[in-house]
């Protein structure tokens, strides 16, 4: 295959993958929603979950996005320096988004700030967003595709705490965000928390945390314990499915962290809704692909 043919092939794969992610939830999200449906007692909660599952069936049967808000596309790319198409990747991801916008189709969600017009193609200045991790001596490329919907993006918040506020301060910050804005984001939620030094490092980690599978835990056992405690605390708010009340408000809490300055605690929250559309695909140098988030997909 020539380089041009490879670029066309990868663009096509990514356009199809984006369209699939828009229509079918990842396996871990479906399993968690089924688990929560069983654990809720109230008929209203069960009916809401049943409606979510019916919505999913219809999205696949009618070949339509599972939520009308297909979000702003964000890609977390972990790319080897020896991946043959590394130089073309950012441009081809943009092209794949345009292709998916018309073929899937996706809602037009890219409005140029200050000029205030919708580009109609889901691409604009800086959109889709591409976050890069470069991996030395590798010829593979991993791509997380994420659809950042409006409702689930709204609760996002980051700040730097005084050092004396400690982990109690982190907990208070997360619970304040959840009690004020959690309702807007179509619960049950996947809550991503970043703990680092500054607002931007914490904010990036809080979104990256949403790429982790539901049920996974931070490698640090204290951080993992905090994930469980926060999960219990947010469940106790009683948001329930779609905020209509229930025993479970979240699908999980994922914390990502780095070391920090001793005088500052950067903390951030990002939220994924019940329709948590993220997909993970890995390409080798010959563009053979493996999809880890969705079973039984052929692009």
The residues binding ligand SF4 (CB under 6 A) are: 67, 69, 149-152, 185-186, 273-275
Distance CA 219, CA 225 (A): 10
In terms of CB distance, is 52 or 253 closer to ligand SF4? 52
In terms of CB distance, is 170 or 178 closer to ligand SF4? 178
In terms of CB distance, is 85 or 273 closer to ligand SF4? 273
Phi, psi of 240, deg, nearest 5: 70, 175
Beta carbon of residue 202, minimum distance to ligand SF4 (angstroms, whole number)? 22
Measured at CB, which residue is nearest to ligand SF4? 149
Beta carbon of residue 261, minimum distance to ligand SF4 (angstroms, whole number)? 34
Partner residues linked to 78 by β-bridges: 133, 142
Beta carbon of residue 69, minimum distance to ligand SF4 (angstroms, whole number)? 4
In terms of CB distance, is 186 or 203 closer to ligand SF4? 186
The per-residue b/e assignment along 190-218, b for 16 or more CB within 10 angstroms, e otherwise, is bbbbbbbbebebbbbbbbbbbbbbbeebb
- CA dihedral in degrees (47, 48, 50, 53; nearest 10)? 170
Residue 6 near residue 14 (C-beta atoms within 8 A): no
**What percentage of the chain's residues is helix, strand, coil (to nearest 5)?**
45, 25, 35
In terms of CB distance, is 151 or 233 closer to ligand SF4? 151
Distance CA 199, CA 217 (A): 23
Beta carbon of residue 65, minimum distance to ligand SF4 (angstroms, whole number)? 9
Beta carbon of residue 126, minimum distance to ligand SF4 (angstroms, whole number)? 20
């Amino acid at each position: 295959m020539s380089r041009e043919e490879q670029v066309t092939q990868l663009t096509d794969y990514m356009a199809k993958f984006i369209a699939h992610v828009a229509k079918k939830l990842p396996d871990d999200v479906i399993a968690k929603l089924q688990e929560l449906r069983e654990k809720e007692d109230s008929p209203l909660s069960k009916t809401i979950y049943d409606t979510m599952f019916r919505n999913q069936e219809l999205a696949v049967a009618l070949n339509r996005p599972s939520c009308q808000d297909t979000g702003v596309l964000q890609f977390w790319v972990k790319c080897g320096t020896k991946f043959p198409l590394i130089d073309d990747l950012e441009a081809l991801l943009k092209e794949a988004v345009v292709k998916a916008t018309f073929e899937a189709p996706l809602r037009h969600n890219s409005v140029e700030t200050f000029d205030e017009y919708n580009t109609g193609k889901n691409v604009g200045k800086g959109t889709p967003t591409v976050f890069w991790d470069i991996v030395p001596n590798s010829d593979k490329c991993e791509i997380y595709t994420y659809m950042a919907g409006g409702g689930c993006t709204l609760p996002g918040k980051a700040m730097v705490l005084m050092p004396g506020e400690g982990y109690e301060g982190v907990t208070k910050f997360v619970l304040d965000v959840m009690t004020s804005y959690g309702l807007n984001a179509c619960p049950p939620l996947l809550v991503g928390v970043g703990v680092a030094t500054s607002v931007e490092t914490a904010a990036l980690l809080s979104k990256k945390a949403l790429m982790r599978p539901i049920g996974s835990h931070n490698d640090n056992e204290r951080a993992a314990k905090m994930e469980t405690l926060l999960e219990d605390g947010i469940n106790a708010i009683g948001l329930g499915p779609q905020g209509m009340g229930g025993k479970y408000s979240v699908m999980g809490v994922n914390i990502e962290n780095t070391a920090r300055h001793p005088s500052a605690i950067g903390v951030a929250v990002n939220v994924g809704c019940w329709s948590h559309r993220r997909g993970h695909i890995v390409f080798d140098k010959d563009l053979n692909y493996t999809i880890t988030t969705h079973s039984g997909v052929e692009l």
